[in-house]
Structure 1
Amino acid sequence: MASSGMQLLGFFLALVGLAATVAATFMVEWKKQAQGKTYRIYEGLWMSCSGNERTTCEFHESLLKLPSEVQATRAVMLLSIFLSAVALLVSTVGMKCTRFMDSKVESKSTTAMIGGIMFIVAGLLTLIITSWYVKMIVQTFYESHRLQSFEFGKAVFVSWAGGLLTMAGGVFLSCRRCSRSERDESISSNHLLPTSSSKSNYV
Structure 2
Amino acid sequence: MKEITEVIALFLGFVGWILIFISLQDQYWKESTTEGSVITTSTIYENLWMSCASDSTGIYNCRDFPSLFALPGYIQASRALMIAAIVFGTFGLAATLTGMKCSKIGGENYILKGRIAAIGGVFFLLQGLSTMIAISWYAANITQEFFDQFYPGTKYEIGEGLYIGWSSATLAICGGSCLLCACKFKSPDEKIPYRYQQSSRGHALSTVQTSQTVPSNYGRNAYV
Q: Which TM-score tier does this pair reach, normalised by the shorter chain?
A: 0.7 to 0.9
- 1:71 aligned onto 2:76: yes
Equivalent residue, structure 1, for 2:59: 54
Deviation at 1:132?
1.6
Aligned residues of 1:26 and 1:46 also touching (Cα < 8 A): no
- CA contact under 8 A between 1:25 and 1:74: conserved in structure 2? no
Match for 1:101: what amino acid?
G
In the alignment, the residues of structure 2 paired with residue 147 and residue 67 of structure 1 have an alpha-carbon distance, to the nearest angstrom, of 14
Aligned counterparts of 2:142 and 2:127: Cα–Cα separation in 1: 23
Instruction: Give the Å deviation of 1:34.
Output: 3.8
SS at the partner of 1:101?
coil
Cα drift, residue 115 of structure 1: 0.4
Indicate the structure (1 or 2) with the bigger Cα radius of gyration.
2
> In 1, are the aligned partners of 2:121 and 2:179 still within 8 Å (CA)?
yes
Alpha-carbon distance in structure 1 between the residues aligned to 2:199 and 2:164: 62
The secondary structure found in structure 2 opposite 1:62 is coil
Q: Show CA shifts across 1:96-143 (max 9, x none).
A: 222112231110111011101110111011112211211111112222
Q: Distance in 2 between matches of 1:65 and 1:133?
A: 17
AA matched with 2:83: L
Runs of 4+ in structure 1 over 4 Å off:
198-203
TM-score of the superposition, structure 1-length normalised?
A: 0.85
Within 5 A, what are the aligned runs for 1:35-46?
36-46=39-49
Look up the match of 1:143.
148
Contact kept, 8 Å, 1:116 with 1:174, in 2: the verdict is yes
After TM superposition, give the deviation of residue 74 of structure 1 in Å.
0.7
2:23 is the counterpart of 1:18: no
Q: Secondary structure at the match of 2:61?
A: strand
Cα distance 1:107–1:188, how it changes in 2: closer, same or farther (>3 A)?
A: closer
The structure 1 residue matched to 2:166, chosen from 155, 160, 171, is 160
* 1:183-194 matched pairs, under 5 angstroms: 191=194
Q: Following the alignment from structure 2 to structure 1, what is the Cα–Cα distance between the partners of residues 129 and 85?
A: 9
Offset at 1:33? 0.3
Tell me how many residue pairs correspond in the alignment.
Answer: 196
Share of identical aligned residues, percent? 30
The answer on 1:114 being equivalent to 2:114 is no
Identify, as 1 or 2, the structure richer in helix: 1
Give the structure 1 partner of residue 178 of structure 2.
172
- CA-atom RMSD, angstroms? 2.6
Shift of 1:64: 1.2
Stretches of structure 1 that go unaligned for 5 or more consecutive residues are none
